[in-house]
């Protein structure tokens, strides 16, 4: 299916809503039945019809069909946050006594789920450096039920060989889940590489305007039905119709935005690479990236997030740099129109900062939709402020 078709036409029954180009927001909690029989069959299978909007909703369904098609998956569920999608996908596939193998340093709230919540129910997790397939082989136990992946990671962009991990997991009857927020289905399709469940934070590129929180989970129809009937309905964290409508709107421009962001990211990357204030730049499509070949092989694009290591001797320089930036905002998240930074040092106590540790000098930069020259100038002025003038 053409991406243009998916984004502009798929699942839009325009003749049912006055041939409007934009879909209606079906802001209704419940739906009417004419016969008891119809109501009975809705009760029997809520995944087949409109009954109550904690379950299915027509506006959300337009979005689900588009997102499933983009992921080349049979089906998809959309949640009120990426964290809820992570929670539901994992919870649906483990029970007391089970074991999870997770890639090291997954998204914060995946870690909290594995470290704080699941142990209360007798589910344990081992973390592995996912760059090496042998680490997965070694970590799998007889009770391993889930392998949790995030490729690339959203700080150091470490990637996993998704096809190799999925083959290993299939042989052992283990469910694979992959957080694909960095790439979106436009730049990587884990389902096509054999992964069972693919997740993404819709807050990032799908929404694309820093105005809504959402999460996406795609997989087989059997898997989404299972998750719908338990976690989705029970947690009650499905996306609301208005937010689904915002994501449909975001999808219209997703390819154009990613294309622009990819070009701008390359310009910003080139500036940072030659700058004396930068010790190292980490970006999966940079030739010096240690897993460059695998990145090129399983991802069709990379953009937006990159990390650079500042050449500084104390924390104050990093703080001055970040606080001098006028147009690149200091904030969490990414995927919107606006460029953003986060210094790694903001996530630690001041006293723990060690300039000898390169990770402590990391800055994560998200390149948004602004003119790249405008961003480069902002970065240059901030480097100047800490005495790092252009070479």
Binding site for ligand PLP (CB under 6 A): 81-83, 107, 150, 154, 179, 181, 201, 203-204, 213, 215
Nearest Cα neighbor of 151 from 295, 33, 329, 247 is: 295
In the bound state with ligand PLP, the residue whose beta carbon lies nearer, of 205 and 308, is: 205
Nearest Cα neighbor of 369 from 264, 281, 212, 248 is: 264
CB of 35 to ligand PLP, least distance (A): 40
Residue with tokens 């006055």: 18
For the sheet with 278-282, list strands across it.
278-282, 305-310, 362-366, 340-343, 329-330
In the bound state with ligand PLP, the residue whose beta carbon lies nearer, of 154 and 184, is: 154
Alpha-carbon distance 173 to 167, whole Å? 10
In the bound state with ligand PLP, the residue whose beta carbon lies nearer, of 41 and 105, is: 105
CB of 61 to ligand PLP, least distance (A): 20
- The DSSP H or E segment spanning 188 is none
Burial class (CB in 10 A: 0-12, 13-18, 19+), 12: middle
First-to-last alpha carbon distance for the chain, in angstroms, is 49
Q: Are 331 and 223 within 8 A, CB to CB?
A: no
CB of 383 to ligand PLP, least distance (A): 27
Nearest Cα neighbor of 87 from 209, 212, 232 is: 232
CB of 202 to ligand PLP, least distance (A): 7
- Dihedral in degrees, nearest 10, Cα atoms 10, 11, 17, 21: -30
Q: Pairing mode, if any, of strands 362-366 and 305-310?
A: antiparallel
In the bound state with ligand PLP, the residue whose beta carbon lies nearer, of 213 and 262, is: 213
| ∠ Cα 327 152 72 (to 5°) | 110
Burial class (CB in 10 A: 0-12, 13-18, 19+), 332: exposed
* Number of C-beta neighbours around residue 33 at 10 A: 16
In the bound state with ligand PLP, the residue whose beta carbon lies nearer, of 210 and 384, is: 210
* Number of C-beta neighbours around residue 248 at 10 A: 22
In the bound state with ligand PLP, the residue whose beta carbon lies nearer, of 179 and 196, is: 179
Residue with tokens 């299915």: 56
CB of 381 to ligand PLP, least distance (A): 28
In the bound state with ligand PLP, the residue whose beta carbon lies nearer, of 165 and 305, is: 305
CB of 150 to ligand PLP, least distance (A): 6
CB of 204 to ligand PLP, least distance (A): 6
Residue with tokens 């009650």: 236
In the bound state with ligand PLP, the residue whose beta carbon lies nearer, of 83 and 128, is: 83
CB of 333 to ligand PLP, least distance (A): 6
Q: Which residue is nearest to ligand PLP (CB)?
A: 82
* Number of C-beta neighbours around residue 16 at 10 A: 11
In the bound state with ligand PLP, the residue whose beta carbon lies nearer, of 154 and 367, is: 154
CB of 179 to ligand PLP, least distance (A): 5
């Amino acid at each position: 299916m053409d991406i243009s078709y998916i984004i502009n036409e798929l699942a839009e029954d325009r003749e049912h809503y006055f041939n409007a180009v934009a879909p209606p927001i079906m802001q209704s909690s419940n739906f009417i039945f004419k016969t008891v029989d119809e109501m009975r069959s809705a009760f029997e299978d809520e995944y087949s019809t409109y009954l109550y909007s904690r379950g299915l909703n027509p506006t959300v369904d337009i979005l689900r069909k588009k997102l499933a098609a983009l992921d080349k998956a049979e089906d998809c569920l959309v949640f009120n946050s990426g964290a809820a999608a992570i929670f539901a996908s994992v919870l649906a596939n483990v029970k007391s006594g089970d074991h999870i193998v997770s890639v090291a340093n997954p998204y914060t709230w995946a870690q909290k789920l594995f470290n704080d919540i699941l142990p209360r129910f007798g589910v344990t997790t081992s973390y592995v450096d996912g760059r090496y397939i042998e680490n997965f082989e070694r970590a799998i136990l007889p009770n391993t039920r889930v392998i949790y992946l995030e490729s690339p990671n959203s700080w150091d962009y470490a990637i996993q060989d998704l096809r190799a991990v999925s083959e290993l997991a299939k042989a052992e009857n283990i469910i694979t889940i992959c957080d694909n927020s960095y790439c979106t289905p436009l730049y990587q399709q884990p389902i096509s590489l054999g992964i069972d469940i693919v997740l993404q934070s819709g807050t990032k590129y799908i929404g694309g305007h820093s105005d809504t929180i959402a999460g996406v989970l795609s997989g087989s129809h059997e898997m989404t039905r299972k998750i719908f009937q338990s976690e989705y309905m029970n947690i009650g964290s499905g996306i609301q119709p208005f937010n689904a409508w915002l994501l449909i709107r975001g999808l219209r421009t997703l390819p154009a935005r990613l294309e622009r962001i990819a070009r701008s990211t390359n310009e910003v990357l080139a500036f940072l690479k030659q700058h004396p204030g930068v010790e190292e730049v980490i970006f999966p499509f940079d030739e010096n990236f240690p897993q460059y070949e695998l990145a090129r092989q399983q991802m069709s694009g990379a953009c937006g997030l990159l990390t650079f290591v500042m050449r500084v001797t104390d924390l104050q320089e990093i703080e001055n740099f970040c606080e001098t930036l006028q147009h690149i905002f200091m904030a969490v998240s990414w995927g919107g129109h606006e460029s953003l930074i986060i210094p790694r040092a903001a996530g630690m106590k001041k006293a723990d900062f060690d300039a000898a540790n390169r990770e402590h000098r990391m800055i994560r930069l998200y390149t948004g939709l602004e003119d790249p020259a405008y961003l480069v100038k902002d970065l240059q002025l901030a480097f100047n402020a800490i005495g790092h003038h252009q070479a």
